[in-house]
Amino acid sequence: MRVLLTGGTGFIGSHTAVVLLEGGHDVFICDNLCNSQVSTLDAIEAICGRRPVFFEKDIRDKAAMRSILADNGIEAVVHFAGLKAVGESCAKPLEYYDNNVAGTVSLLQAMQDAGCRSMIFSSSSTVYGTPQKLPLTEDHPVGGVTNPYGRTKLVIESILSDLCAADKNFCAVCLRYFNPIGAHASGLIGENPNGIPNNLLPYVARVAAGLLKEVNVFGNDYPTPDGTGVRDYIHVMDLARGHVLALEYALKHPGWEAINLGTGQGYSVLEIIAAFEKACGKKIAYRIAPRRAGDIAANWADPSKALKLLGWKAELGLEEMCASAWNFQQMLQKKSN
């Protein structure tokens, strides 16, 4: 298959590129590099022995996207490109709506023009808002989203649903991720955002490496066993496999589908810190900070639909997630020294 990954040099995109290349697919990446590095392409090539074709473009550039899709005979798009920090989205909502929503509309128009009718969309468990029940199943009501980032995901899901209703040949699989962490076993790719990380695990890794002073634990008064937020953490390699299976599913099943990708197990922030301490063999400093705008107490997945439709389930546990993330952090340190 000839597959375009938007945002493909980012965390999840780069790992999905590896799984696709190893499966014999032709991979094309489009990324504006606002939160990733072009050197990721070298790492992908080192792992796979094959290099994705790369375009440094923005999904909002419709003419550029149209020519990338048409000139390369792209059969399906895996759409990762988007701004993704909850706190930042509360401070800069217009940037999030412009990049995520307007960018996706532009991309879909380019796909229509080029005759490409399959999209796997990088959605999020944030579309469920504050859970009414746990674990979260796909029929749980969506909406009541607590931050603009999550709202952009929900709006895009609705756009894709409307498009599939209007065009019976279009297929869109919205993968609702829970919390991806970990890194490729080689240590060559992992989560390495530009600037200060917004996500918990790369932040913890940088504290363990002595690059940051301490982890901020946002709130310890949630109604959870230890008072800190509980999330369903999933290894990024398991997540990457899910995208490849979703692509195979989409090509045979026109229409709209939402599928959770999670482990079905929730861990608190303090449990993650403790697991990472075990992985790196040192204590990690943290401080309790006030709750962060837009956060909820707990969420974890019921992943049974992914098993039924895609034949997918998570295989890697928390120990492997933390060990691989620490291995990646150590490889980064070696490179910078």
Q: Is 149 a catalytic residue?
A: yes
- Per-residue pLDDT reduced to its tens digit, 126-164: 999 999 999 999 999 999 898 999 999 999 999 999 999
- Per-residue pLDDT reduced to its tens digit, 1-60: 999 999 999 999 999 999 999 999 999 999 999 999 999 999 999 999 999 999 999 999
Q: Which sequence spans correspond to the domains of the chain?
A: 2-183+232-264+299-315
What percent of the chain is predicted at pLDDT more than 90? 94
> Out of 96, 97, 128, 149, which one is annotated catalytic?
149
pLDDT of residue 87: 84
Across the range 111-122, mean pLDDT stands at 98
Measured distance CA(202)–CA(248) in Å, rounded: 31
**Domain 2-183+232-264+299-315 class?**
alpha beta
